[in-house]
């Protein structure tokens, strides 16, 4: 009795007729591909054997013209070799991402159910993305992400690293009420905490509810003041739950955004230009200049990149010279401007740090690259654009 794999070789080697002449091209391509797998030392998998039998049965009458053994072989299928076994990988562990930062890593052999679950989790899990290797996903190493991923992947028989399991057990042992009470602003007596806030705001600063709410992200405390969402742009920014927040440029001008940051004592500011169109750089630079002047910020402004000397680039570069936006980066710089993904090296060695960041017309958001990594030092990142990034549309509060 002929085996199914030898039957396949007989069929694909036929020259009169060829399989392309008697069955549809999609099926003929699959049969030739499976024949190639059969002839190498890896053989085919059990799933591939099912696909092969399905195609043979669907084309039983047509392929019978090539081999008289077809009906007997596919009705009682036998194989000349054992099926190739695919290693099933399902792991959750911690490793460094492309930027050298620790991240949660999900590695698995392709499975449509797992990919569907991860696609749903991406709406809630911070920075959950697929890497260049389609078998691996990564996510920010946060307590919330860790708990979500452990609870979602455990029922799918993932091998979870002991370090992650220990972190998970520790987090789940916490009492939310007890933890919150420890970090209530009125309960914190640590002298270093009060010292840092005083250095941040200055002794003479009038501290209102917005500033108290705003600094809760920076210093990780809770307040008993009810959060306000949306009465003013300043209140909305101050009461954000995460460092990043999207501001609709169609609803709020850049003048308003910088005005709100001024109210919250959020200078100095890092401005990130994100566009591939030179004319857009010009437009945004003029909008930024007007916004700064409307907020009486006229000096100590540095734009730390230049454009190629085409017509649009020359206008951009000349405007920088005209406005004297070439202030060296020092501790007293008010506004620093860079391109997304192209952070100058001197930012890494300079003591200057932004109190806030504004990403202009950010399409992908500050998610990847050197500028995004640098932005992690800041607890107030505003993405000012027409609409939130695709990754954030389900997660970031619309203003």
Half-sphere exposure of 375 (CA within 13 A, CB side): 29
The pLDDT of residue 27 is: 92
Q: Which domain holds residue 24?
A: 4-75
> Is residue 300 situated within a structural domain?
yes
Residues contacting 271, CB < 8 A, separation 6+: 288, 335, 336, 337, 338, 357, 358, 360
The pLDDT of residue 356 is: 96
The pLDDT of residue 44 is: 87
Residue 395 has pLDDT above 50, yes or no: no
Whether the upstream peptide bond of residue 44 has omega within 30° of 0, thus cis, is no
Least confidently predicted of 14-28, 38-52, 114-128, 382-396: 382-396
306: tokens are 């230049």
In angstroms, rounded to a whole number, what is the distance separating the alpha carbons of residues 225 and 258?
Answer: 25
User: Is 106 in contact with 136 (CB distance < 8 Å)?
Assistant: yes
Mean pLDDT of the chain: 86
CA neighbor of 332 nearest in space, from 276, 268, 283: 268
**Total of domains in the chain:** 3
Q: What percent of the chain is modeled with pLDDT above 70?
A: 87
Residue 367 has pLDDT above 70, yes or no: no
Q: Is 360 helix (H, G, I), strand (E, B) or coil?
A: strand
> Is residue 47 situated within a structural domain?
yes
Residue 398 has pLDDT above 50, yes or no: no
Mean pLDDT of 46-61: 91
395: tokens are 């997660």
The pLDDT of residue 215 is: 87
Residues 57 and 165 in one domain: no
Q: What confidence category does residue 335 fall into, taking pLDDT thresholds of 50, 70 and 90?
A: very high
Partners of 326 in the beta sheet?
302
For the stretch 155-210, pLDDT in tens is 999 999 999 999 999 999 988 787 777 777 767 666 677 677 766 766 556 668 88
The pLDDT of residue 353 is: 94
Residues 46 and 117 in one domain: no
The pLDDT of residue 206 is: 63
Tell which of 75, 105, 125 closes a domain.
75
Residues 53 and 100 in one domain: no
> Is residue 163 situated within a structural domain?
yes
Most confident range (mean pLDDT) of 2-11, 81-90, 226-235, 291-300 is: 291-300
For the stretch 229-279, pLDDT in tens is 667 999 999 999 889 999 999 999 999 999 999 999 999 999 999 866 667
Residues 41 and 157 in one domain: no
The pLDDT of residue 399 is: 36
Whether the upstream peptide bond of residue 362 has omega within 30° of 0, thus cis, is no
The pLDDT of residue 201 is: 66
The pLDDT of residue 396 is: 37
For the stretch 96-140, pLDDT in tens is 887 778 999 999 987 788 888 988 888 888 888 887 666 789 999
The pLDDT of residue 134 is: 64
Mean pLDDT of 44-49: 88
- Angle between helical axes of 25-39 and 46-58 (0-180°, round to 10): 140
Tell which of 75, 107, 132 closes a domain.
75
The pLDDT of residue 3 is: 92
Q: What confidence category does residue 59 fall into, taking pLDDT thresholds of 50, 70 and 90?
A: very high
Residues 330 and 369 in one domain: yes
Residues 51 and 107 in one domain: no
For the stretch 275-293, pLDDT in tens is 666 678 999 999 999 999 9
18: tokens are 């060829």
Write the CATH number for 250. 3.40.50
């Amino acid at each position: 009795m002929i085996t199914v794999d030898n039957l396949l070789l007989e069929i694909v080697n036929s020259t009169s007729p060829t399989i392309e002449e008697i069955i549809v091209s999609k099926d003929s391509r699959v049969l030739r591909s499976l024949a190639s797998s059969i002839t190498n030392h890896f053989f085919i998998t059990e799933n591939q054997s099912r696909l092969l039998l399905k195609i043979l049965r669907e084309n039983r009458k047509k392929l019978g013209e090539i081999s008289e053994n077809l009906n007997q072989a596919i009705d009682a299928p036998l194989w000349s070799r054992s099926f190739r076994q695919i290693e099933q990988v399902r792991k959750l562990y911690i490793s460094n991402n492309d930027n050298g930062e620790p991240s949660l890593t999900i590695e698995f052999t392709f499975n449509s159910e797992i990919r569907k679950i991860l696609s749903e989790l991406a709406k809630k899990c911070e920075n959950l993305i697929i890497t260049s290797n389609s078998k691996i996903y990564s996510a920010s190493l946060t307590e919330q992400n860790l708990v979500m991923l452990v609870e979602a992947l455990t029922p799918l028989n993932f091998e979870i690293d002991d370090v992650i399991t220990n972190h998970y057990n520790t987090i789940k042992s916490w009492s939310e009420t007890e933890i919150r009470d420890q970090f209530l602003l009125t309960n914190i007596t640590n002298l270093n905490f009060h010292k840092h806030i005083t250095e941040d705001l200055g002794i003479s600063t009038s501290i209102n509810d917005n500033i108290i709410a705003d600094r809760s992200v920076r210093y990780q405390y809770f307040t008993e003041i009810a959060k306000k969402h949306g009465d003013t742009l300043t209140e909305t920014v101050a009461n954000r739950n995460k460092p990043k927040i999207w501001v609709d440029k169609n609803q709020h001008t850049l003048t308003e955004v910088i005005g709100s940051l001024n109210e919250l004592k959020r200078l100095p500011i890092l401005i990130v230009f994100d566009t591939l169109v030179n004319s857009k750089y010009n437009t945004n630079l003029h909008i930024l200049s007007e916004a700064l002047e409307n907020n009486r910020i006229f000096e100590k402004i540095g734009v730390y990149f230049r454009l190629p000397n085409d017509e649009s680039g020359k206008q951009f570069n000349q405007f920088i010279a005209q406005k004297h936006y070439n202030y060296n980066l020092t501790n007293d710089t008010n506004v620093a401007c860079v391109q997304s993904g192209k952070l100058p090296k001197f930012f890494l060695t300079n003591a200057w740090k932004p109190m806030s960041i504004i990403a202009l017309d950010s399409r992908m958001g500050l998610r990847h690259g050197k500028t995004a990594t640098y932005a992690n030092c800041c607890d107030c990142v505003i993405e000012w654009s027409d609409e939130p990034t695709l990754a954030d549309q389900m997660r970031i509060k619309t203003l």
